[in-house]
Amino acid sequence: MVTMREFSRTSSAFRPEHGIDIARWPMPTAAPVAPPFAAMWCVVPPSSASRPDAHPEVELAVVVQGRGTFQVDGDRLDVAPGSAVLFEPAERHVIHNGSDDEQLVVLSVYWMPSDGAS
């Protein structure tokens, strides 16, 4: 039997992490096999940014609300709802919200790269 599990931003428990508010998906404990990925909601308040972050996982960040700028090293990419950005393992990245009055909301899905590939 397949069980749907909702991961809603409005019902998630947010905590400060990396200078922004993050709600991590509570992984199913009763699943016969653990999912090969994890997910989190990221909310960047107006006129602020995340702290620089780098990790061993591949990360796909999808903007669902607001506008901002994603930065990796000196490269910057302006994003809006519907934008998706892929961060490779160990890429040091920052998420900027330049709006004075709107949150930047991102759904991030991340996973360990396959052996020998990133």
Q: How far is CA 31 from CA 2, 28, 36, 53, 101, in A?
A: 10, 6, 12, 30, 40
Higher pLDDT, 96 or 10: 96
Q: What is the pLDDT of residues 31-78, one digit of tens each?
A: 677 788 999 999 999 999 999 999 999 999 999 999 999 999 889 999
Asked if residue 96 belongs to a domain, the reply is yes
Q: How many domains does the chain have?
A: 1
What was the pLDDT predicted at 116? 58
Q: Which domain holds residue 68?
A: 43-113
What was the pLDDT predicted at 1? 54
Asked if residue 75 belongs to a domain, the reply is yes
pTM above 0.75, yes or no: yes
Average pLDDT over residues 9-24: 93
Closest CA to 16 of 66, 50, 60: 50
Q: How many beta carbons lie within 10 A of that of residue 76, not counting itself?
A: 12
Residue 101 is part of a domain; what is its CATH number? 2.60.120.10
Asked if residue 29 belongs to a domain, the reply is no
What was the pLDDT predicted at 5? 77
What was the pLDDT predicted at 29? 66
Asked if residue 32 belongs to a domain, the reply is no
Provide the pLDDT confidence category of residue 100 given band limits of 50, 70 and 90: very high
Buried/exposed 14-33: b ≥16 CB within 10 Å, e otherwise: eeeeebbbbbbbeeeeeeee
Cα–Cα distance measured from residue 60 to residue 21, given in angstroms and rounded to the nearest whole number: 18
Cα–Cα distance measured from residue 97 to residue 79, given in angstroms and rounded to the nearest whole number: 10
C-alpha 68: how far from chain center = 13
DSSP state of 62: E
Q: Is the pLDDT of residue 81 over 90?
A: yes
Q: What is the pLDDT of residues 18-33, one digit of tens each?
A: 999 999 988 766 667 7
